[in-house]
Amino acid sequence: MAQQPKKILVIGGGYGGLKAVLGLQRKYKGDAEITLISKHDYHYQTTLLHKVAIGTLSARKARIYYRKVLDLQKVHFIKDKIVELRPKENKVIGNGGEYFYDILVIGLGFKPNNFGIKGVEQYAYKLSSLNAALRLDKNIENKFKEFVHTKNPKDLQVIVCGTGFTGIEFAAEFATQLDELCLICGIDRRIPQITCIGRSKHILPVFSADLVQSAEEKLERLGVTILSGATIKEIKEGEVVIEKDGATQSVYGNTIIWSAGVKGSEIVENSEIPNKNGRISVNANLQCKEFPNIYVVGDCAIATDKDAIHAPTAQLSAQMGDYVAELLCEKLEGRTFEKPFKFNHRGTVCSIGHTDGVGIVYHKNVKGELAAFMKNTIENKWLYSIGGLNMVFKKGQFRYRTSN
């Protein structure tokens, strides 16, 4: 009896899942069935959500539709939300039905981590998805437009909880747009305020003291207030309660953004696969130890390299996706694959508005316009990898052009 073709199922179309599918689409010549399931019919760059939330990147430009970048002769695409994993039965459950697999690649992305702090879910916006960023953009736009009627200064006071990349990039992007927003809406520029609150002693703790100091000076010049070494105790409506230097105090503002950390997927967290906060420990081949036919990429994987645990980033996720595609091509064609996953850290850049930034590129510190240029180059390189030059020209980030 002829053997049925193998079913390869990739769940989640973020950086890792999409790269895994595109790698298989490009290199695999066999007859296995390849399926991608995502809850949206488009991919978006999570590293640019702060721009969507301020309106400097349009939703139209941010969306990259899967059916436009996939070869639908080679890859099935299904729009569905996965709600349950059943690894013992080799299937996953979605709202639209159940899907069986021989090999599963989990790339379900991240969820904001509220660390059990009261009020985060009720009163804070998150930059966790394109739709969440669009809701925040709408809120900011309405607050500024309506200020002529409300006259409430707290409506123009924005609090960012978290001083890692997401929080700092959002605060900086917003600060660079305030002059124009105030001009358009006829608002005194001294009224809007942006405050960033972080637990660490300094912002952007992954960077050296030199880069951190440079970033803090740039933010201060933009009028952003930084409260470092502050522990958030509770979020109330229009208020963040913090403890700093042993004293409790409140910071007021009617728009609160939560960007203080992420965890893996809730679907993974609630599954029978052993995990920690929705993240699965994997071996050197990104394979789930308990279920060898499951591979994990992106934020759902705890990938270790010589005992160094990598922070989840888009760069890491994309390299994991490429690796799993290469591994599966070899294994499906009956060859052994010994090469372990190794993360090649090419650099990290934090943008401070569209034309400024700080970062490390190939182990060298970069600042200012060069850093901004490198950030745009990184974003455009991703677009090139999924859709070639045409995609870069349509969706790319350029020094002289925003969606504004």
- Residues with catalytic roles: 169
DSSP-based helix, strand, coil % in the chain, nearest 5: 35, 30, 35
Q: Strand, helix or coil at 393?
A: helix
Q: How far apart are the first and last CA of the chain?
A: 61
Tell me the one-letter amino acid at 101. Y
Number of Cβ within 10 Å of residue 281's Cβ equals 16
Q: 79 and 41 in contact (C-beta within 8 Å)? A: yes
DSSP 287: B
Separation CA 310–CA 395 (nearest Å) = 29
Q: Which of 393, 230, 321 is nearest to 26 (CA)?
A: 321
Q: Which of 86, 85, 125, 126 is nearest to 107 (CA)?
A: 85
Q: Which of 70, 129, 59, 77 is nearest to 395 (CA)?
A: 59
Give Cα separations from 403 to 11, 57, 201, 354 (angstroms): 31, 5, 35, 11
Tell me the one-letter amino acid at 170. F
Strand partners, 36: 10, 77
Across 166-321, where does the E strand assignment appear?
193-197, 224-227, 230-236, 239-244, 247-252, 255-258, 262-263, 280-281, 294-296, 301-302, 304-305, 308-309
Q: Which of 71, 22, 19 is nearest to 45 (CA)?
A: 19
Angle CA 61–219–361, to nearest 5: 65
In terms of DSSP bridges, do strands 82-86 and 91-94 run parallel, antiparallel, or are they unpaired? antiparallel
Residue 247 burial class via C-beta count within 10 angstroms: exposed 0-12, middle 13-18, buried 19 and up: exposed
| Spacing of C-alpha 370 from chain mean position | 23
